[in-house]
Structure 1
Amino acid sequence: MTDVVVRQIHTDDEILNDFSPIGNYAFGSTPPMEPEEKRRENLPYNRERRIMVSYEDGQPRATAAALSMTQNVRGNVFQMGAISPVAAHPMGRRKGYARMALTHLLGILREEGHAFTGLYPFRESFYQRLGYVTYPRIKKIDVDAANLAALSKQEIDDIVEMMPVSEGQAILDAFLAQMQAKTHGMALFTGENAKRIATKNEQWLTVARYDGQVEGLMLYKISGYGGTMEVPWFLTLSTRARYALLSYIARHVDQVKTVTISLRHDERPQTWLTDMLPRSNPDIWLTAMGRVLDVARIGGMNVGPGSAILTITDPQCEWNNGTWAFRSEDGKLVVESTEATADGELTIQGLSALAYGTHDPHDFAIRGWGKLSNDLADTLDSMFPQQSPHMFSAY
């Protein structure tokens, strides 16, 4: 009889030998497998993960891990568990071992006080069945560098500063905190993982300042002469900062052929400059998903007027099952368990869609996410108007 055990691992030896190889095989290019030296380089970051492993007869067969992050949900910053990775050894697939590890992991995250969890799925439908809802897809554009030449003469000497990213940790920390406070859905790393980009030092950091205040920044790397400038971060708090950074990019017109920029889904780069002619880049795997982990902890977010009593069903997180009262008090959400008669029913997918603002509650019946009268759907739409969450951090 097969002996299956799911447990949390902690030691460096377990991380190196029971956790890392499974993720490397599932998401890396193999063979060869990642050498031990490389796995040890990642130890400071992996030690911060909560790691569950499913063992079959003593052999590691699947894993689910998470980092603790912070996330802005409707104006309030909550603790969020960032799920990464969920993976299985070929001999552990189609046996439910990865799902078992993930279910145990959600319990650990809840015990630590996380209100939400997020992830980047290998397949959306798999995680939707586990309670997650899909965010809008990020945007990635390609621009011919020559099309930005008109901006190259803009005076930016006293505005823009370029440096190795290793010198900019304090700048990154302060600016990202500003961005998070303004950006629904934005999640940020904590601990050593928040320093990882600066520590690796594989990109340039360019900053746009006005009156001593950072109003925009970008990270980039160049593939080589005549190649591509890859800009994974292009973040601005003002229009003038956007054009200062674009002017800086334009100064590479004789060095690179193409500029590839990652943007949040609601940016409109086609309006930024006449004849810029941005093209959609299809090479995007980053489509985030999120879910409510603990209903009792989601109070405090900004909501519109109204109240509702809802029965929530959550097969993966039984602590969420029951009837809950949701009401707006001074523009903030208050959540309480109740024995009152419910106005309607929601699955955890429906509640997650309300919190993140990703879907219209009038559509929930079609999606199989709840039973709501039209009047109740109107109330929930008023309390939780649709918004466009942007996870930002990739993990």
Structure 2
Amino acid sequence: MEIRQLTLEDFDARAELGMYAFQYRKTAEELEKEKQDFKPERTWGIFEEEQLSAQLTLLPLQTYIHGQAFEMGGIAGVATWPEKRRQGLVAKLLDHTLQQMNEAGQSISFLHPFHFPFYRKFGWETYIEYRQYTIPTNKLPAKVHVEGTVKRGIRDLDIFHAIYEKYASSYNGTLVRDTERWERKLVPNSDLFTAVYYNPQDQPCGYIIYEIKDQKMNIKELVFLDERSRQALWTFISNHDSMVTEVNVQAPIDDSLPYLLNDPRIEQQIVPYFMARIVNVKTFLEQYPFTVGKVESLSIRVNDSAAEWNNGIWDVLINDEGKAKVSRREALPEGLQQDLWDHSDIDTDIQTLTVALMGYKRPLALFNWGKWKGKLECVHMLESRIPFATTHLMDFF
């Protein structure tokens, strides 16, 4: 058994495994185009007798957390041939990939799970949900006059990126998008339509990416920076009422559209989406922007069965500017009792620490649910030092 990065010669084997596992087919022309864009160094495989048995892709990405960009390892395309399943191959790939991310300085990792309980065994945990609306045209927001202009057909990547960056950085867990990702989203001559709202000062403040198919308007992205741009874009959407019978849109979990509708009885779903896990506790905590306050310290015992470098007690000193200095407790000082040295203020696992620092769940709630153990005053301290934020993700990988 060998774990290694793929080469260009492995492309056909990778494609066959991917198509079989995810139940799709591509034409020869599509595969040739994919081969031209293939980055083999991003895919890791397990080979047995030189045959590819399992694979995953590790994407070098960045994510916003409290407005700050963190290096993030995105895991995608995890696949195994059926006759090779339940032999621990994916576990070996995940262990190997965690080490690769740690060495590369990627302090956090995201993935889209095929089965949430499976990835929890390796330290990942749900960090985001989104709202999915299906709105019949007779329940769309009322059309209102808004100063400014909505312009269709805009494809200027810089305009979209500038709006997205302001919007995405206000959430935790959104991607820092590069030019390549924008080019894939705004492919010329695709079936997707676009529109941008410009305020009275001719500044772009919101956009929509959508398709119209079978009398349905399917919104891929709806982004607005203020209430005026929200109203302008929803009026634009509502003006399609003679063309479509319903509108489908995905929104962040803190979205307030139903409250703002005249009739809020629309179809709504809350959908669990991606999972996250801290890859390196020390690196992540020292990058993390805690709230400004007095100098405070606490100790956190972390249990991480998949990344041994995270295990142990971490002494955390947060300064008045919200920056942390983190050190792992090592040897027992001479003359100190073992039970005193092994004491920690908070006991937790890597999943719970991740969702607290991502802002998905609050420290006090986690303590009340029994997810954290320890001193209540230290939980209150973290409650005050972890900024409030909503998690959101508009991409898929």
Structure 1 stretch displaced more, 244-253 or 292-301: 292-301
Matched, 1:310 2:310: no
Q: TM-score normalised to the size of structure 1?
A: 0.87
> Which residue of 1 is the match for residue 319 of structure 2?
329
Q: Which runs of 4+ in 1 moved over 6 A?
A: 365-368
Distance 1:149 1:254, change over 3 A: farther
Root-mean-square deviation (CA), in Å? 2.5
> Which residue of 2 is the match for residue 12 of structure 1?
8
CA displacement 1:108-157 (0-9 Å, x = unmatched) = 22222211111111111111221112124101101112333841x6366x
> Which residue of 2 is the match for residue 356 of structure 1?
358
Residues 152 and 194 in structure 2, CA contact (< 8 A), matched pair in contact too: yes
Residues 300 and 332 in structure 1, CA contact (< 8 A), matched pair in contact too: no
Distance 1:250 1:48, change over 3 A: farther
Aligned 1:187-226 pairs, distance under 5 A: 187-190=175-178, 192-199=180-187, 201-210=190-199, 211-224=201-214
1:300 and 1:161 mapped to 2: Cα distance? Answer: 40
Residues 302 and 312 in structure 2, CA contact (< 8 A), matched pair in contact too: yes
CA displacement 1:316-336 (0-9 Å, x = unmatched) = 222223332223223423142
> Which residue of 2 is the match for residue 374 of structure 1?
376
Measure how far apart 1:362 and its partner are: 4.7
> Which residue of 1 is the match for residue 337 of structure 2?
none
Distance 1:22 1:331, change over 3 A: farther
> Which residue of 1 is the match for residue 346 of structure 2?
344
1:204 and 1:316 mapped to 2: Cα distance? Answer: 44
Task: Choose which of 139, 159, 165 in structure 1 pairs with 2:131.
Answer: 139
SS of 1:256's partner is coil
CA displacement 1:294-314 (0-9 Å, x = unmatched) = 223222333244421223232
Structure 1 stretch displaced more, 53-62 or 379-388: 379-388
Residues 128 and 393 in structure 2, CA contact (< 8 A), matched pair in contact too: no
Residues 163 and 225 in structure 2, CA contact (< 8 A), matched pair in contact too: no
Task: Choose which of 300, 304, 317 in structure 1 pairs with 2:287.
Answer: 300
Q: Which amino acid aligns with 1:289?
A: M
Residues 71 and 185 in structure 1, CA contact (< 8 A), matched pair in contact too: yes
**Paired residue total:** 379
1:64 and 1:335 mapped to 2: Cα distance? Answer: 34
Distance 1:312 1:281, change over 3 A: closer
1:214 and 1:241 mapped to 2: Cα distance? Answer: 9
Residues 168 and 205 in structure 1, CA contact (< 8 A), matched pair in contact too: no
2:141 and 2:93 mapped to 1: Cα distance? Answer: 52
Residues 68 and 189 in structure 1, CA contact (< 8 A), matched pair in contact too: no
SS of 1:42's partner is helix
> Which residue of 1 is the match for residue 393 of structure 2?
391
Residues 367 and 379 in structure 2, CA contact (< 8 A), matched pair in contact too: no
Matched, 1:107 2:109: no
Residues 43 and 56 in structure 2, CA contact (< 8 A), matched pair in contact too: yes
Structure 1 stretch displaced more, 286-295 or 240-249: 286-295
SS of 1:381's partner is helix
Task: Choose which of 29, 34, 37 in structure 2 pairs with 1:42.
Answer: 34
Q: State the percentage of identical aligned residues.
A: 23
2:33 and 2:166 mapped to 1: Cα distance? Answer: 30
SS of 1:202's partner is coil
Distance 1:331 1:81, change over 3 A: same
CA displacement 1:93-119 (0-9 Å, x = unmatched) = 111111211221222222222111111
CA displacement 1:345-383 (0-9 Å, x = unmatched) = 322112212211223435657877554232332222222
SS of 1:252's partner is coil
Distance 1:335 1:317, change over 3 A: farther
Task: Choose which of 125, 145, 148 in structure 2 pairs with 1:154.
Answer: 145
Measure how far apart 1:386 and its partner are: 5.5
Structure 1 stretch displaced more, 114-123 or 51-60: 51-60
Measure how far apart 1:223 and its partner are: 0.5
Residues 364 and 371 in structure 1, CA contact (< 8 A), matched pair in contact too: no
CA displacement 1:40-87 (0-9 Å, x = unmatched) = 323465418721111223221111212122111133211111111212
Distance 1:36 1:337, change over 3 A: farther
Q: Which amino acid aligns with 2:196?
A: V
Structure 1 stretch displaced more, 385-394 or 50-59: 385-394
Q: Which amino acid aligns with 1:345?
A: D
SS of 2:140's partner is helix
Task: Choose which of 66, 78, 94 in structure 1 pairs with 2:86.
Answer: 94
Measure how far apart 1:277 and its partner are: 4.1
Measure how far apart 1:21 and its partner are: 2.3
Residues 325 and 338 in structure 1, CA contact (< 8 A), matched pair in contact too: yes
SS of 1:379's partner is helix
> Which residue of 1 is the match for residue 241 of structure 2?
253
Structure 1 stretch displaced more, 188-197 or 173-182: 188-197
Residues 51 and 105 in structure 1, CA contact (< 8 A), matched pair in contact too: no
Consecutive unaligned residues of structure 1, counting only runs of 5 or more, are none
> Which residue of 2 is the match for residue 21 of structure 1?
16
Q: Which amino acid aligns with 1:19?
A: R
Residues 359 and 386 in structure 1, CA contact (< 8 A), matched pair in contact too: no
SS of 1:359's partner is coil
Q: TM-score normalised to the size of structure 2?
A: 0.87
Distance 1:136 1:339, change over 3 A: closer
